[in-house]
Amino acid sequence: MTLEVNGKTFETDEEGYLADLNDWEPGVAEAMAQAEDVELTSDHWEIINFLREYYEEYQIAPAVRVLTKAVGKKLGKDKGNSKYLYELFPYGPGKQACKYAGLPKPTGCV
Amino acid sequence: MSEIKKFMYVNRKAPYGTVYALESLEVVLIGAAFDQDVSLAFLDDGVFQIMKGQDTQGVGMKNFSPTYSALGDYDVTKLYVERESLEERGLTLDDLLPLKYEDEDDDWAEKDSIKLVSREELAGLMEDQDVLLNF
Amino acid sequence: MATLHTVNKSPFEKNSLASCLSHLQSGYAVLLFEDGVYGALRGTTIATRVEDAVKSGRVYVLGEDFKARGLDEGKMIEGINVVDYAGFVDLATECDRVQSWL
């Protein structure tokens, strides 16, 4: 599968995850969100950027439980809970936020 | 949920030459979702998995050694390294990644995940497990 | 005359390197690559035998594999030469035959 963003073509897998995370640019997240009728706010971006930093450091997309705890530590308890994260990303922070961030599907996420 | 069991992942292979090390790490990360008492043992060539300074750019493979540093986030905090295996390979603890975790029960104090144990001690730890998973 | 011996298995898991070292004939070159690079480490249980091989012939290690595994030249037995992929090819062509110890 491919994704068209501003005239550029990006390779994705059959579930829409970016094939090569090095190809990622903010426009990719915008396009993926638009396709799912989501308007990205600064709150969304905070999580997307957090995920990209996490991947940069540990080379994995964290499990939801791990993401929740890590967000809580970095951005505060009011954001480090599943209610907050699922409100931003109703399809699940793993499935949706990781995808927008250009990361692979979290290990163990089905 | 059934009662908590003691799981030990036994790592005995060097990284990159075979896929065992990476497979083990993935199973550990997936398995961490089930609240069990998990530990990892590194013995024989398995100690090479957590060497510092791995740089795989030249061989075109993914360097997965940074992921060991995330194990603490997954509540995997007991990494037993066998002293004799290090010595036979001319290595010391200083050659290994400084793997840490934050102890929730101790005001998030940062602690070492790596515990250096003798062959004898590791044998005893293995005897104490409910499940041993070998890679 | 000369044979290039390649070893790609860890000396602590298989006896490929030990057996290779026991079969060296004059003019030999030994190249350690993939998990075989662990044979180039100092202070190991097999280091003395590798040091002997360095004294009476040429021993090489593939730098890319060495670096991938977090090893550096400070940990390497003195006298071992580092080659890259192109150097590996040169060695193979310059020797009369290649023996791959698996």
Mutate to test the interface with B, among C51, C69, C76, C84 (most CBs of B within 10 A): C69
> Which CATH number do you get for residue B24?
3.40.1260.10
Decide if B123 is inside a domain: yes
Decide if B96 is inside a domain: yes
State residue A109's pLDDT score.
Answer: 59
State residue A53's pLDDT score.
Answer: 96
* pLDDT-derived band at B1, boundaries 50, 70, 90: low
Q: What is the ipTM of this complex?
A: 0.89
State residue A96's pLDDT score.
Answer: 92
State residue A6's pLDDT score.
Answer: 86
List phi, psi (to 5°) of A75: -110, 0
Mean pLDDT across chain B, nearest whole number? 95
Touch A-C: 3+ C-beta pairs under 8 A: no
The lowest-confidence range among B4-8, B29-33, B36-40 is B29-33
* Tokens of residue C9, six digits: 């298995």
Chain B environment of C47 (Cβ under 8 Å): 90
Interchain proximity C41–B90, CB inside 8 Å: yes
Runs of H (alpha helix) within chain C: 16-22, 47-55, 63-68, 85-94
State residue C1's pLDDT score.
Answer: 58
State residue B105's pLDDT score.
Answer: 87
Interchain proximity B69–A57, CB inside 8 Å: yes
Q: Provide the b/e sequence for B48-85 (b: ≥16 CB within 10 Å).
A: bbbbeebbbeebeeebbbebbbbbbbbbbbbbbbbbeb
- Known catalytic membership, residue A109: yes
State residue A1's pLDDT score.
Answer: 85
pLDDT at A15 over 80: yes
State residue A108's pLDDT score.
Answer: 62
* pLDDT-derived band at A85, boundaries 50, 70, 90: very high
Give residue limits of the domains in chain A. Answer: 2-100
Interchain proximity B14–C13, CB inside 8 Å: yes
Q: Which of A110, B96, A21 is nearest to C71 (CA)?
A: B96
State residue C49's pLDDT score.
Answer: 98
Helix (H) or strand (E) holding B24: helix B20-31
Question: Which chains are within 8 Å of C by 3+ CB pairs?
Answer: B
| Residue C60 and residue C66 in contact, taking contact as beta carbons nearer than 8 Å | no
pLDDT at A110 over 70: no
CATH topology of domain A2-100: Arc Repressor Mutant, subunit A (1.10.10)
Average pLDDT on B48-75 reads: 97
Q: What is the pLDDT of residues A24-47, one digit of tens each?
A: 999 999 999 999 999 999 999 999
Alpha-carbon gap, residue C71 to C75, rounded angstroms: 7
Using the Cβ of C73 and the Cβ atoms of chain B, whether some distance falls under 8 Å is answered with: no
Helix, strand and coil content of chain A, in percent to the nearest 5, comes to: 50, 10, 40
Cβ within 8 Å of residue C48, ≥6 positions away: none
Work out how many domains chain B is built from and give that number.
Answer: 1
Rounded mean pLDDT for each run of 10 residues along chain C, 102 residues in total:
93 97 95 98 97 97 98 95 97 95 95
Residue labelled with tokens 């600064």: A42
pLDDT at A56 over 80: yes
Give strand pairing partners of C81. C60
Helix (H) or strand (E) holding A5: strand A2-5
Alpha-carbon gap, residue B62 to C27, rounded angstroms: 37
Average pLDDT on B75-99 reads: 97
* Tokens of residue B86, six digits: 């290090």
> Which CATH number do you get for residue C58?
3.40.1260.10
State residue A105's pLDDT score.
Answer: 84
* pLDDT-derived band at A17, boundaries 50, 70, 90: very high
State residue B57's pLDDT score.
Answer: 96
Q: Which domain holds residue B85?
A: 6-134
